[in-house]
């Protein structure tokens, strides 16, 4: 599997952090540079129908090698080009901890950055495996360059083994997933797959076809500022009113108190002065009815504030994405195929809900059913990110097995 690891090491050298403030697609130039590099690699492999549009969406086809007249569904595989804005992805310098013996891994001695099973107990699940880690100064980029490396390596393997029969396979790499825009300009019709899988999950075995329903809410409060020495019955402090709003929400329905299918309200930012304060919340719930009730609860609390402080509070709520389960359930065979492929690859499927969202959620609502499969990495978006080589190898095998199973249909 040397090519797989070599590809991954090559890919993480590209600085592809996305940026939600640029209002461009792709949001950063490094993503297009990386896409052009991948386009050249796909051309060298001999893929067909390769296209890279001005927005950084790269697509290609591994043509069917089935006998003329034999038709099977076209399956797709998708991964994203960008890395998280949460931490620098520039000058990534990965290394391999061969046959991890357990215990602490010193990532950066100078800055005392240590990857420890005391803080990350999942490390104990990978004793004896080869772990790709950071140098402690950047994220790694396994989210989602591991997925890209796995997809291309799987396609390369099939090209090298023409005795494995398969139908048309479409692959795509898109920008700006980390800022929620990866699927916005994805041309589903041009992609032309019957269904697809995003290779964007975490640990081995993850298979996800449920995700949060998601919305963002901006709650604004208007106050009145006067000299504090003469403020009685005159001053209206918007920050204090905003604080009153915050404590009116259920204390236990927050990210730090929820798991599995439990939804939450998450206060992500608070900016304020006496005269104006803005709270930004994200709202999450797997159940659509509870999701709608959560939005109504915020509106209800805004009305209560306005009853006490007339015309003080305004609220704007915008839906972001929905639970793809409602689009996957009518075509559950695509989940069954992924489960069977995992078992054939020696992986026990772990079907679980995503406590977040993927490009696949939005693509499913655009007409491309798209469950999510593990890419193998852990501790995404920070300096403690790592990916076991063996997990990447298994993800590549799962892709190959899916393609083989669809080819037999």
Q: Which residues form the catalytic set?
A: 82, 177
Q: Judging by beta carbons within 10 Å of its beta carbon (0-12, 13-18, 19+), is residue 348 exposed, middle or buried?
A: exposed
C-alpha 209/C-alpha 353 separation (Å) is 7
Helix axis angle, 389-407 to 2-11, nearest 10°: 110
Give me the sign of the Cα torsion angle 134, 136, 140, 143: positive
Closest CA to 95 of 222, 9, 154, 220: 9
* DSSP of 215-235: EEEEEEEE-B---GGG-TTT-
CA 118 to chain centre: 26
What CA–CA distance (Å, rounded) separates 373 from 281?
28
Helices (H), 12-161: 29-45, 142-160
Question: Of 95, 25, 29, which Cα lies nearest the Cα of 57?
Answer: 25
User: From residue 191, how far is each of 31, 55, 77, 320 by CA, in Å?
Assistant: 20, 15, 10, 23
d(CA 85, CA 81): 13
């Amino acid at each position: 599997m040397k090519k797989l690891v070599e590809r991954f090491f090559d890919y993480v050298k590209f600085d592809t952090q996305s940026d939600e403030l640029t209002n461009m697609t792709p949001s950063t130039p490094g993503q297009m540079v990386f896409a052009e590099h991948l386009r050249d690699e796909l051309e060298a492999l001999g893929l067909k129908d390769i296209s890279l549009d001005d927005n950084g969406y790269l697509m290609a086809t591994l043509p069917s090698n089935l006998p003329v007249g034999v038709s099977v569904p076209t399956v797709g595989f998708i991964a994203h080009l960008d890395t998280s804005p949460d931490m620098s992805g520039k000058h990534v310098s990965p290394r391999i901890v061969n046959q991890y013996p357990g215990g602490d891994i010193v990532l950066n001695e100078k800055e005392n950055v240590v990857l420890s099973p005391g803080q990350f107990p999942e490390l104990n699940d990978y004793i004896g495996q080869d772990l790709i880690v950071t140098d402690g100064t950047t994220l790694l980029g396994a989210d989602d360059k591991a997925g890209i490396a796995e997809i291309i390596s799987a396609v390369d393997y099939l090209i090298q083994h023409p005795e494995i029969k398969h139908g048309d396979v479409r692959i795509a790499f898109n920008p700006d997933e980390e800022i929620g825009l990866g699927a916005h300009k994805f041309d589903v019709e041009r992609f032309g797959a019957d269904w697809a899988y995003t290779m964007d999950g975490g640990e081995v075995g993850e298979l996800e076809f449920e995700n949060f329903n998601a919305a963002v809410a901006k709650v604004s409060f208007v106050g009145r500022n006067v000299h504090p020495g003469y403020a009685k019955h005159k001053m209206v402090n918007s920050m204090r009113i905003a604080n009153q709003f915050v404590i009116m929400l259920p204390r236990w329905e927050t990210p730090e108190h929820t798991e599995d299918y439990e939804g939450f309200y998450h206060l992500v930012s608070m900016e304020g002065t006496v005269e104006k304060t803005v709270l930004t919340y994200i709202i999450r719930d797997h159940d659509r009815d509870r999701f709608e009730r959560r939005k109504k609860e915020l509106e209800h609390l805004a009305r209560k504030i306005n009853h006490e402080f007339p015309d003080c509070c305004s609220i704007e709520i915008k839906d972001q994405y929905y639970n793809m389960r409602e689009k996957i359930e009518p075509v559950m065979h695509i989940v069954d195929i992924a489960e069977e492929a995992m078992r054939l690859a020696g992986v026990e499927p772990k079907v679980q809900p995503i406590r977040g969202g993927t490009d696949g959620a939005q693509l499913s609502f655009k007409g491309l059913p798209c469950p999510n499969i593990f890419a193998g990495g852990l501790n995404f978006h920070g300096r403690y990110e790592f990916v076991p080589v063996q997990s990447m190898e298994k993800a590549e095998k799962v892709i190959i097995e899916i393609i083989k199973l669809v080819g037999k249909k």
